[in-house]
């Protein structure tokens, strides 16, 4: 999911003014500490927004949502490391909607720097701009930012709480605070007297937190280690509570049918549904009809019985027209040229020219848990429970939709059965609130069918890439890439922030303009297409599109130059960015790369630098009697500091499977204005029996911490395509690859 990467005029002015020291917010306002949103009762204490104490112990409040990526475990470890909690005693809750939980690592992505080249001054500038997130309600989980956001904040919260508790114990025991130590959730005096943290809660709440010093990494017990995940037992035993598991007394169950052409509803006839047993209410909404019933299945059946007439789509209605509109964008002035090195005109006549066009389809998020939310409206208050990536947005959008103020709306964020950016949008929660408003006092759980989920998504945009290059004497002289397609920012930013996207669209070309290749003549231009199809942030966002275009073309340049594709990449980046080159060297070592493969085996390599993390991958495929099987994937990544190596490995593996699934079979197509794909039978993913083995190596050569949730996805797509070329000699320049190869799926 995105770090909101367009330099819109308004957003850039906000950020640059903040950095300059005060036109928009003032430097004091920018650095002001938000109010603690926690409200402790008797015998409880909220020592800061992240540490809550009661008589039973400590609860760590995490600002980011858990959707399978392990974020609650590692964020809790950051605080527990400083707070001296035993791991078995660590408890975690997601924080409420509040400015205190703004994402402190997201807005800096506005700046059009190549992250691998960022200087200390540029990192400082991005850090200051990140603080503007508190004014933009960016309590968002996404952009592979959770660890960058939480690394200092959660450790400081734990250390501050620890020292505050020592001061409280000092007052009670009459000894110097410096003589006290903490261990296993207790403050211990020199004579062995110990006091549980919970017993000190009320006293500690009255103390002004002292200035603290964070522990040296040499003292860490948890960080840098593979810790047992805090959610693994509940998920393994089926006791974990996802949004769809919410139950309340007297709850009714609803579903919705919305216009598959993403426009308004013209009319409907619900007479057949109204007489069905168990149907409680039929509710007309602007974009469709909701059905409330005594259970979800009855609601589904009744919704299918409603005869609805839909208004036509406000965008090109078939796939050919969509591709034609994108092609026309190449005739317009580029929206961005964020990389333009050297001279693309005066190239040697003796050089070999290479040209290629690539196409990338729309993609759905297809989370395993369909969109759902539970809402209770009582006239002057609204309670919403759902998995989401943006709690403040849930609160504010639901308040606006029901005529309440944000203070009248409470939001409980549950764990999620997948997010991938889809639950950054909150339309499903708003619809649940609107349905609940029609039945005051009755809890309503709104659940979408899989078909509704697939056809009402905010899609990863389609794109066309036109690339030209030149090679001579085994060297790459030039790379000139043009990328056309609709902008996810132009579609999503008005929904998310109320701002129109304008200026150079960084996300549209990220993953291409910002790669660490030392090519002397190097240009990447972005051309935007105004389609009107609803778009959203999809795991790895722009790089999920551009990595396939860019890395497939790098392979084509290597072929034209007569070079091994891995060796050529190493040559281009060894001096440009040594940590990236180290990833390529490591993946070559892991896979035993020689550039030669036996008959029936193909190998492909690809690289991508995204979200601050370089990732190199080698994919191996094999020809079998049943089709081409993806055998194995080797991954080398550098996250700067692996706070939990097992979770980093798991996220790289997850990203690989997500990317390979999209590359092999993922596509959303349109006919008569509606999405053709309906469910997993026609929008499939790799299954356990077709998934490859994945081996991950984690390097720590970079100086800055970076993300792991998304960077594994982009290089897997071109690596698979390059492996299939090595196996078959057929170059596929469009996805999904199932249209070009007989894949074992």
Residue 62 has pLDDT above 80, yes or no: yes
Residue 111's pLDDT band (cuts 50, 70, 90): confident
Pairing relationship of beta strands 186-188 and 693-699 according to DSSP bridges: unpaired
- Position 11 scores a pLDDT of 34
- pLDDT (average), residues 701-730: 98
Residue 31's pLDDT band (cuts 50, 70, 90): low
- Residue predicted with more confidence, 123 or 444: 444
What residues contact residue 452 under an 8 Å CB cut-off, 6+ apart? 255, 256, 257, 258, 370, 371
Instruction: Work out the percent of the chain whose per-residue pLDDT is above 90.
Output: 90
Residue 30's pLDDT band (cuts 50, 70, 90): low
Residue 408: what are its φ and ψ, rounded to 5°? -90, 0
- Integer distance in angstroms from the first to the last C-alpha of the chain? 27
Residue 232: what are its φ and ψ, rounded to 5°? -70, -35
Convert the pLDDT of each residue in 721-742 to its tens digit: 999 999 999 999 999 999 999 9
Residue 350's pLDDT band (cuts 50, 70, 90): very high
Residue 26's pLDDT band (cuts 50, 70, 90): low
- Position 79 scores a pLDDT of 99
Mean per-residue pLDDT of the chain: 95
Residue 521's pLDDT band (cuts 50, 70, 90): very high
Distances from the Cα of 305 to the Cα of 41, 242, 509, angstroms? 50, 29, 45
- Residue predicted with more confidence, 20 or 39: 39
Three-state DSSP at 173 gives: helix
- pLDDT (average), residues 21-38: 63
Q: What is the dihedral of CA 277, 281, 282, 287, to 10 degrees?
A: -130
- pLDDT (average), residues 684-699: 98
- pLDDT (average), residues 546-555: 99
Residue 623 has pLDDT above 70, yes or no: yes
- Position 680 scores a pLDDT of 97
Protein fold of 332-363+459-739? Aldehyde Oxidoreductase; domain 4 (3.30.365)
- pLDDT (average), residues 373-397: 98
Residue 394's pLDDT band (cuts 50, 70, 90): very high
- pLDDT (average), residues 710-723: 99
Residue 655 has pLDDT above 80, yes or no: yes
Within 426-497, strands assigned E span 444-447, 463-472, 475-485
In the chain, where are the structural domains located? Answer: 33-102+137-231, 243-312+371-447, 332-363+459-739
Q: What is the 3-state secondary structure (H, E, C) of 661-685?
A: HHHHHCCECEECCEECCCCCCCCCC
- pLDDT (average), residues 521-529: 99
What residues contact residue 48 under an 8 Å CB cut-off, 6+ apart? 36, 157, 160, 161, 209
CATH number of the domain located at residue range(s) 33-102+137-231 in this protein:
3.30.365.10
Residue 497's pLDDT band (cuts 50, 70, 90): confident
Residue 1 has pLDDT above 60, yes or no: no
- Position 29 scores a pLDDT of 56
Q: In this structure, are residues 463 and 506 in contact, taking their beta carbons and an 8 Å threshold?
A: no
- pLDDT (average), residues 629-642: 99
Residue 28 has pLDDT above 70, yes or no: no
Q: How many CB atoms lie within 10 A of CB 359?
A: 16
Query: Which of 165, 198, 166 lies closest to 180, judged by CA?
Result: 166
- pLDDT (average), residues 194-211: 96
Query: Which of 387, 50, 431, 422 lies closest to 255, judged by CA?
Result: 431
CATH class of 243-312+371-447: alpha beta
- Position 475 scores a pLDDT of 98
Measured distance CA(112)–CA(109) in Å, rounded:
8
Convert the pLDDT of each residue in 298-346 to its tens digit: 999 999 999 999 999 999 999 999 999 999 999 999 999 999 999 999 9
Measured distance CA(498)–CA(343) in Å, rounded:
40
Measured distance CA(658)–CA(684) in Å, rounded:
11
- Position 679 scores a pLDDT of 98
Residue 607's pLDDT band (cuts 50, 70, 90): very high
Residue 17's pLDDT band (cuts 50, 70, 90): very low
Residue tagged 């051309």 (tokens): 527
- Position 507 scores a pLDDT of 97
Residue 18's pLDDT band (cuts 50, 70, 90): very low
Tokens of 280: 């409680």
Three-state DSSP at 179 gives: helix
- pLDDT (average), residues 541-554: 99
Residue 137 has pLDDT above 80, yes or no: no
* The domains spanning 33-102+137-231 and 332-363+459-739 adopt the same CATH topology: yes
């Amino acid at each position: 999911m995105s770090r909101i990467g367009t330099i819109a005029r308004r957003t850039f002015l906000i950020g640059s003014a903040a950095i300059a020291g005060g036109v928009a917010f003032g430097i004091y306002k920018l650095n002001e500490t938000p109010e603690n949103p926690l409200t402790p009762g008797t015998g409880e204490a909220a020592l800061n927004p992240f540490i809550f104490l009661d008589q039973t112990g400590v609860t760590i409040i995490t600002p980011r949502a858990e959707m399978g990526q392990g974020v609650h475990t590692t964020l809790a470890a950051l605080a527990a490391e400083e707070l001296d909690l035993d791991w078995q005693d660590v408890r975690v809750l997601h924080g409420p909607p509040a400015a205190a939980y703004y994402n402190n690592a997201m807005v800096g992505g506005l700046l059009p720097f190549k992250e691998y080249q960022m200087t200390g001054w540029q990192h400082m500038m991005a850090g200051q701009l990140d603080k503007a997130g508190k004014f933009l309600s960016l309590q968002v989980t996404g952009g592979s930012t959770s660890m960058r956001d939480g690394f200092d904040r959660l450790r400081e919260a734990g250390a501050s709480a620890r020292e505050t508790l020592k001061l409280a114990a000092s007052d009670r025991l009459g000894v110097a605070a410096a003589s006290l130590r903490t261990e296993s959730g207790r403050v211990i005096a020199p004579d062995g007297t110990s006091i549980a943290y919970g017993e000190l809660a009320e006293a500690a709440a009255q103390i002004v937190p002292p200035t603290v010093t964070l522990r040296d990494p040499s003292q860490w017990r948890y960080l840098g280690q593979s810790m047992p995940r805090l959610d693994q037992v509940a998920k393994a035993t089926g006791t974990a509570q996802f949004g769809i598991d919410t139950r309340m007394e007297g709850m009714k169950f609803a579903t919705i049918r919305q216009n598959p052409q993403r426009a308004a509803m013209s009319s409907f006839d619900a007479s057949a549904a109204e007489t069905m047993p168990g149907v409680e209410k039929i509710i007309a909404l602007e974009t469709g009809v909701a059905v409330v019933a005594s259970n979800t299945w009855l609601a589904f059946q009744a919704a299918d019985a409603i005869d609805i007439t839909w208004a036509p789509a406000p965008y090109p209605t078939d796939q050919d027209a969509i591709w034609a509109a994108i092609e026309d964008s190449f005739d317009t002035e580029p929206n961005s040229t964020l990389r333009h090195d050297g001279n693309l005109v005066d190239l040697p006549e003796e050089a070999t020219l290479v040209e290629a066009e690539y196409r990338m389809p729309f993609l759905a998020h297809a989370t395993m848990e369909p969109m759902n939310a539970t809402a209770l409206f009582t006239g002057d208050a609204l309670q919403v429970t759902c998995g989401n990536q943006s709690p403040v947005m849930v609160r504010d959008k639901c308040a606006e939709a029901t005529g309440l103020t944000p203070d009248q709306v409470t939001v409980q964020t549950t764990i999620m059965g997948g997010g991938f950016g889809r639950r950054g949008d909150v339309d499903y929660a708003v619809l649940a609130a609107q349905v609940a408003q029609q039945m005051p006092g009755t809890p309503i759980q709104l659940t979408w069918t899989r078909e509704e989920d697939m056809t009402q998504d905010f899609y990863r945009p389609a794109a066309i890439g036109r690339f030209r290059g030149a090679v001579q004497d085994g060297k790459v002289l030039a790379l000139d890439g043009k990328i056309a397609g609709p902008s996810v920012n132009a579609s999503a930013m008005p929904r998310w922030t109320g701002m129109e996207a304008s200026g150079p669209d960084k996300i549209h070309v990220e993953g291409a303009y910002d790669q660490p290749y030392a090519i002397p003549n190097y240009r990447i231009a972005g051309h935007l297409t105004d389609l009107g199809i609803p778009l959203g942030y999809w795991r790895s966002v722009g790089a999920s599109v551009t990595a396939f275009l860019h890395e497939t073309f790098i392979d084509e340049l290597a072929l034209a130059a007569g070079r091994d594709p891995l060796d050529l990449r190493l040559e281009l980046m060894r001096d440009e960015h040594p940590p990236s080159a180290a990833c390529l060297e490591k993946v070559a070592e892991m896979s035993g790369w020689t550039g030669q493969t036996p008959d029936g085996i193909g190998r492909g390599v690809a690289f991508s630098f995204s979200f601050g993390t370089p990732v190199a991958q080698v994919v191996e495929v094999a020809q079998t009697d049943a089709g081409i099987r993806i055998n194995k994937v080797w991954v080398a990544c550098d996250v700067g500091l692996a706070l939990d190596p097992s979770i980093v490995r798991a996220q790289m593996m997850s990203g690989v499977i997500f990317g390979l699934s999209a590359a092999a079979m993922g596509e959303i197509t349109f006919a008569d204005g509606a999405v053709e794909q309906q469910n997993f039978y026609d929008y499939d993913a790799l299954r356990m029996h077709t998934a490859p083995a994945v081996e991950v190596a984690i390097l720590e050569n970079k100086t800055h911490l970076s993300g792991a949730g998304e960077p594994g996805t982009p290089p897997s797509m071109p690596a698979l395509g390059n492996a299939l070329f090595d196996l078959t000699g057929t170059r596929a320049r469009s996805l999904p690859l199932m249209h070009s190869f007989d894949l074992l799926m």
